Structure 1
Amino acid sequence: MTMNDPSETGAIAAGTPVVDVCINGAGPVGATLACRLTAAGMKVLLIDRAALPGQEDPSFDGRAYTIAEGSRRMLAAAGVWTHLGDRPQPIRAIHVIDGQPHRRPSSWSLDFTEEDADGPFGFTVEARDLRTALNTALTDREGLILRAPDTARFTFDAAGVTVHLASGETYRASLAVAAEGRRSPLRDQAGIGVTRLPYDQCGIITVIAHEKPHHGRALEHFLPQGPFARLPLAGNAGHPHRSAIVWADGTLRAQRAYALPDDVFAREIAGRMGDDALGDITPLGRRWIYPLSAQYAQRYVGPRLALAGDSAHGLHPIAGQGLNAGFKDIVALSALLEEARRRGDDLGDAQLLMRYQRRARPDNMMMLAACDGLERLFGNDNPALRLARDWGLKTMNRMPGLKRAFVRRAMGL
C-alpha cells in the first residue's frame, strides 16, 4: 500500500472535499454498503469504472441471486428492498437430491418446507432487477457522491486516504473500502495475499420457461460432475412459469453444453431435473459460462482499508451463498462504523478494522469450507461416498431440529 510522506500529505490543497468513507466498486456489495452508510447519516464517495445505468441491461449480467432472509432485512434497512417491488420470488421449499444425469435420482432425498423456516427461506432476484433497485436507491441520496464511470488512485497516510479521481477531482476519506470483486486492485496495492482453490469446472447460467408452475420450490441436484440448481423466478407477461438454472460441470463438458442448440440444451437440462417434473422446458435469452473457483484473502484489512464481498472471499456457487456472504460483511462493517461515528471515533482506526475482521472472517471461512466440502463430497461417483451422503440426506430429513438449525444458519439468522 502506498503511504504518503509528510510533504505529500501537506501538499493536499486546502478545501479538499472530505467524506467519511470511500467505496471503490459499485456492484451489489459496494452499492448496498453506500446505501446503508448514507442511511445512517454518513458522507460516502462511491466509485465504479462502469456507468451504472448500463448495468441494468439484461445482457450485462444473467445471474439470479438467492437473497437470504437476513440479507433481505439488511437491504430493507438500507432502503433498497422496497424498490424491488414484486420481482423477488419467495423460495417456499427446497428439494435436495443425489443422482446421475438422465437417470432417476436416489430415493433418499432431503426436503425443506416453510415449516422449517417459519416463512420463506429467502428470495430469488435477477441480477438486473437488483441493479435497477440499487440504482434507484442511489438516486439523489443525501450524503452520497457517486462517480461512475470513473477510476481513482489511492494514497494512504496515518491520518486518512487521499482519492485522486481520473476525472480530476480529489477527496479525503477516513477509510477506503475495496468492493471491487475477485481481482481487487486495492487488495493488491495493500499487499494482501489470496489463496485460490480451482475446481476445473465451469458454471452455466441461464433462464428457462417451463410448462408447470414451480410453486416456489427450488431444486439442488448433486451430480458427479458438479451440482445443478434450479431457482424459482417470478413469471412475466410472456412466460408465467420461469426458473433460473445454475449448472456446474467439468470445464470441457460445460463448454460443449454451452454450445448446444436450444432443443438439445433443453433436453440436457431436463435430464438433470431428476424428479422435479415441470413439463416442457424452453431456454430463454442468452447463456453465460464462467470458470468456477473459490478464494479467500489472508487479511480483510490494511491501514485505512477494509475488504468486502468478493474482494475478501469468493465461494463455490453450490449453496448460493456468495452474495449473502458479502452482505454479511456489510452488516458487520456498517454496525462498527455507525457505532464509531456516534462516539465521534476515527472510522479508519486500526482497532476498529481488526474488530471487523474478527466479526466477518471466521463466519466466511466456515461458509467457504462448507461449500468446498459439499463440492468434494458430492462431486464424485465413489459408491461408498454415494451411500454415505444419501444416508446423510435421509437422516437429516428425519431430524426436524437439525433441519431448523441448518435452515436458520443458511438464512443468516
Structure 2
Amino acid sequence: MSDSNTGLVTADDTRRDLIILGGGLVGMTLALAAARAGITSHVIDRADPADLVAEGADGRASAVSTASWNLFANIGLGKRLAPLGCAIDTIAVTDGMKPGRIDFQPKPEDGSLGRMFFNRDLRLALFEAAEDEPNIAWHVRTEAVRRTRGAHGVEIELSDGRVLKGSLLVAAEGRQSPTRDEAGFSMAKWDYKHRAMVTAFTHSKPHEGTAWEIFYPEGPFALLPLLDDAQGRHRSALVWTVAEKDAAGAIAMSDTMFINEVAARMHGVLGEIALAAPRLSYPLRFHHAARVVDERLAVIGDAAHGMHPIAGQGLNLGLRDVGALVEVLSEGMRLGLEPGDAQLLARYEKWRSLDSVMVMAATDTLTRLFGIPGRLPSAVRRFGMAAVQRSGLLKRFFMDEARGMSGKLPELLQA
C-alpha cells in the first residue's frame, strides 16, 4: 500500500475538492463514493494500511444493512464483497431467553435483513479500490498538524511537512476527532458504564442466518452470523456487554473460562463453541454533535455520533452520512457551486440531523429499557415483545429500520 498522488484534475498538484481526515471504513467509503461522482479528494490517515489488514490484526465484524450494501454495490464493490458477507435472514430478540421473543424474518422478495462482514474484508476491498482510483490521493502514516479554514478554501499541513489544499474539510477521524474538538462543536455525551467484549467463535450447530439479540439486565448479548471458515466450521461474532465494574474480571478470564461464561448465556442455541478470534474490549459511550457542519467543514461517522452497539447501527449511520453528503455535493457542483459552499453544507446538516437523532434516541431507549432489572420490568418487556410478534405492521416497521430502508434515502443507498 503506497501513498499515491496520481491523477489530479487540477493544475495545482496539492489541491483537490475534498480533504478527508481519516481513512477508515467511513472516510474511505466517502472518498470512493465521491470519486465515482467525479469529486476529487485527499485522504489522510496516520495508520499504516498494511497493519490494518494484517491477518489476525482485527477480528471484529460489522453488520451492513440493506441500504449500506446498496451503497457498496453502487460504488463498485459489490462483486468483490458479495462472496465475503453472511446474510442475516432472521433476527431473534429475547429477554434473557424467556418466553415472548420476537422473530424478525422478511419476505423472500425483500431479501435479507443485512449482511455480516469481517472489518478486515471491508478494509481490503476499500483500500484496493482506492489504490486504483485516480480521483483519490491517499496519504498514509502522516497526520494533520495544522488546519486552516477560510473564505477561499481549506489548507492542511501534514506532519511530514507537505501542505494540501481543498474546498471542503471532512472530519472522519472517529470518536476522538481532533478536528471536531478544535472546531468547538458542542456535544451531548454520557458514559453507559458498560464495556463491550468482542470476538468470534466457532460452533457445532449451524446458525441458519439467525442473529440473536439476548437482553440481560447487565447488558445485551449479541450473536451475529458469519460465513463458515475454510475448514467448514460454523462461525458467529459475539458482542457481549458487561458492566464496567465487572469488566476487569471478564478481561482477565482465561479463554476456557471466557468460553464457559459465553456458553452459559447462549443456552445451547449454537451447540459447542470455541474461540476463533482475539478477544477485544472497549468502553461504551454515547455522544452526538449538536451541529455537523461549520465553515468549510463537515463531520461524519463516529466523529459526529457514537452510540451503543445494541442494534448494530453505528457503521450504517456513518454510511448514510456518506450517501447524503455525496448527493448534496454532486448536485451542487453540477449547478456550479463548490463543495465548501455554505448552502450545500446547510442542506446536508438539515438532511442528516433528524435521521441521526431518531436512530440514536431509539438505540439509547432500548439500552435503558432492557437494562431495568426485576421480574415486573421483564414481564412488561416480554408482553410488549409478544404484541410486536403478533403485529405484522409493527414488525414491518422494525425490519425496515434494521434494513436501513426507512426515511429519505440518498440515491446511493437505493437499489
**Is the structural similarity TM-score above 0.5?**
yes
User: Given residue 342 of structure 1, which amino acid in structure 2 is its aligned partner?
Assistant: R
Cα distance in 1, alignment partners of residues 116 and 390 from structure 2? 27
- Corresponding position of 1:230: 223
Which of 206, 229, 232 aligns to 2:199? It is 206
Unaligned ranges ≥5, structure 2 = 1-10, 406-415
C-alpha contact 1:248 1:254 (8 A) present in aligned 2: no
- TM-aligned CA deviation for residue 117 of structure 1: 7.5
User: Given residue 348 of structure 2, which amino acid in structure 1 is its aligned partner?
Assistant: Y
What do you get for the CA RMSD once the two structures are aligned? 1.5
Give the stretch that moved more between structures: 334-343 or 27-36: 334-343
Give the stretch that moved more between structures: 133-142 or 56-65: 56-65
Cα distance in 1, alignment partners of residues 252 and 199 from structure 2? 13
The Cα offsets for residues 31-87 of structure 1, whole Å up to 9 and x where unpaired, read as 000000001111111000011121002443332100000000011112233322411
SS of corresponding position for 2:84: coil
User: Given residue 243 of structure 1, which amino acid in structure 2 is its aligned partner?
Assistant: S
- Corresponding position of 2:212: 219
- TM-aligned CA deviation for residue 15 of structure 1: 4.5
Cα distance in 1, alignment partners of residues 50 and 77 from structure 2? 16
Which of 66, 71, 74 aligns to 1:69? It is 66
Whether 1:286 and 2:286 are equivalent positions in the alignment is: no
C-alpha contact 1:117 1:407 (8 A) present in aligned 2: no
Q: How does 1:342-357 map to 2 (within 5 A)?
A: 342-357=334-349
SS of corresponding position for 2:219: coil
Whether 1:341 and 2:333 are equivalent positions in the alignment is: yes
Give the stretch that moved more between structures: 67-76 or 251-260: 251-260
- Corresponding position of 1:22: 19
The Cα offsets for residues 275-301 of structure 1, whole Å up to 9 and x where unpaired, read as x62211111231001111111112101
SS of corresponding position for 1:355: helix
SS of corresponding position for 1:293: strand
- Corresponding position of 1:314: 306
Which of 100, 107, 122 aligns to 1:115? It is 107
Cα distance in 2, alignment partners of residues 261 and 17 from structure 1? 51
User: Given residue 127 of structure 1, which amino acid in structure 2 is its aligned partner?
Assistant: N
Whether 1:87 and 2:84 are equivalent positions in the alignment is: yes
Cα distance in 2, alignment partners of residues 389 and 309 from structure 1? 31
Whether 1:145 and 2:137 are equivalent positions in the alignment is: yes
Greater than 6 Å deviation, 4+ residue runs: none
The Cα offsets for residues 133-161 of structure 1, whole Å up to 9 and x where unpaired, read as 11111112021110011112211111110
Which of 43, 46, 49 aligns to 2:43? It is 46
Give the stretch that moved more between structures: 82-91 or 35-44: 82-91
C-alpha contact 1:109 1:397 (8 A) present in aligned 2: yes
Count how many residue pairs are aligned between Structure 1 and Structure 2. 394
C-alpha contact 1:116 1:400 (8 A) present in aligned 2: no
TM-score (norm 2): 0.92
Cα distance in 2, alignment partners of residues 342 and 207 from structure 1? 46
- Corresponding position of 1:406: 398
Q: How does 1:255-270 map to 2 (within 5 A)?
A: 255-270=248-263
User: Given residue 64 of structure 1, which amino acid in structure 2 is its aligned partner?
Assistant: A
C-alpha contact 2:59 2:277 (8 A) present in aligned 1: no
Whether 1:163 and 2:156 are equivalent positions in the alignment is: yes
Cα distance in 1, alignment partners of residues 100 and 392 from structure 2? 16
C-alpha contact 1:53 1:135 (8 A) present in aligned 2: no
TM-score (norm 1): 0.92
The Cα offsets for residues 205-225 of structure 1, whole Å up to 9 and x where unpaired, read as 011100011111110000000
- TM-aligned CA deviation for residue 320 of structure 1: 0.5
- TM-aligned CA deviation for residue 167 of structure 1: 2.2
Cα distance in 2, alignment partners of residues 283 and 252 from structure 1? 24
User: Given residue 385 of structure 1, which amino acid in structure 2 is its aligned partner?
Assistant: P
Unaligned ranges ≥5, structure 1 = 1-13, 100-104
Cα distance in 1, alignment partners of residues 123 and 132 from structure 2? 16
- Corresponding position of 1:387: 379
SS of corresponding position for 1:41: coil
Q: How does 1:94-113 map to 2 (within 5 A)?
A: 94-99=91-96, 105-113=97-105
Cα distance in 1, alignment partners of residues 298 and 23 from structure 2? 15
User: Given residue 179 of structure 2, which amino acid in structure 1 is its aligned partner?
Assistant: L
SS of corresponding position for 1:366: helix
SS of corresponding position for 2:48: coil
Cα distance in 2, alignment partners of residues 85 and 401 from structure 1? 30
- Corresponding position of 1:299: 291
